[in-house]
Amino acid sequence: MEKDVRQIIIDIITTIAPDADTSNLKDEVPLREQLELDSMDFLDIVLELRKQYGIDVPESDYKQLETLASCVAYLTPKFAAKH
């Protein structure tokens, strides 16, 4: 499940920032540093999670989506609850 969630996050990033190189993402480095995402890109990621998968991320939890590893840790239980 974690591997699937990781790929979903990468796919969403690729959709939002098609020029971003997601091939060598590091799990513990903030995504915004690795991919030069701005705050609008970040909001688009949250909106895509809601639109495509019905997963709401409250603003108070945005910090949980800082790195790829923290995204996977935060979102895996939410995806598991959907299935």
- How far apart, in whole angstroms, are the C-alpha atoms of residue 78 and residue 80? 5
> Which residue has better confidence, 37 or 28?
28
User: Average pLDDT in the 39-66 region?
Assistant: 94
CB 2 within 8 A of CB 70: no
Task: Please enumerate in sequence order all residues whose Cβ is within 8 A of that of 26, keeping only pairs 6 or more positions apart, or say none.
Answer: 34, 68
Q: Which CATH superfamily is domain 2-82 in?
A: ACP-like (1.10.1200.10)
Asked if residue 10 has pLDDT above 80, the reply is yes
Q: What local confidence, expressed as pLDDT, does residue 82 receive?
A: 82
Whether the model clears a pTM of 0.85, i.e. scores above it, the answer is: yes
Instruction: Quote the pLDDT of residue 78.
Output: 94
Domain ranges within the chain, ordered by starting residue: 2-82
Instruction: State pLDDT tens for residues 37-51.
Output: 888 999 999 999 999
